Structure 1
Amino acid sequence: MLYTLLKILLVIHLAGVILGFIGGRVHGALISWLETAPADTAEILWRYEKSASYMAFLGTSLLIITGILMLVYKWGGLAGQDWLFWVKMVLVAAVGGAEIVRHITAVKWRQGDQSMLAWTKNSGKFSGIAAVLTVIVGVFNFN
């Protein structure tokens, strides 16, 4: 039973990777297009921008939740983890923090605060870089 649960958690974890990465990249592209889009096109893009933002946030949340569950149930918690694990946790914190900043600034930008646009774009880029590094370190750590 535990074996099956762990496999399901891994599938959900990998779905979180996909959702987070695709949502974040689509969100970044939509923001770039929205800066210069004509009004009729921008109206359509705004709907997708919000969905992409929530998709990235959902993916990151799934990663964190399932990662904690797998750490506890598959690897017995924090005891015995090597230095690569802690590098991964720093990167996970960076991704999570950048996604929170990106999500909050995107909401403020949607409400009309143009000063949040640069924060939204830069935190999204940082999150993407940190996410790729997290996957690389995770592969070396857990396999």
Structure 2
Amino acid sequence: MSSSYDLKTWNYVGHTESGENVCVLVENNEYILMHSPKNGIGLKRSADLKTWKDYGSLITLGQGEWPWAKGRITAGAVVNLMHVPEFGKYVMLFHGSGPLTEEAGDFDKNASIGIAWSDDLLNWQWPGKQP
């Protein structure tokens, strides 16, 4: 992991085991890393970009009920809209593929983008989810 204040000069900070498609939020002097392990979206937290701790459970949303995402959920990109009165939520766009798994050759053939929202990054809602 590297950091930059000007996007020209980069400083190596450290390393943490994570999947691909990383997204980082900064809140309350802490970093929140979203990443994509083999399936799902994982969360980690750090105060210094060097020491990371897993946070919450693996996020798979409604994958078990969605034929379009039964193969894999990945690439969660989260935007913090908590301070925007019209939204007041975290909003996540993510990639889903299915109904077959990536190993079965379905990853690039049937890909969709999904949307979900949350108040706390741990509990998520999506279109059609029963409250």
Q: How does the TM-score come out when normalised to structure 2?
A: 0.25
- Structure whose alpha-carbon radius of gyration is higher: 1
Larger strand fraction of residues? 2
Higher relative contact order (CA 8 A, sep 6+): 1
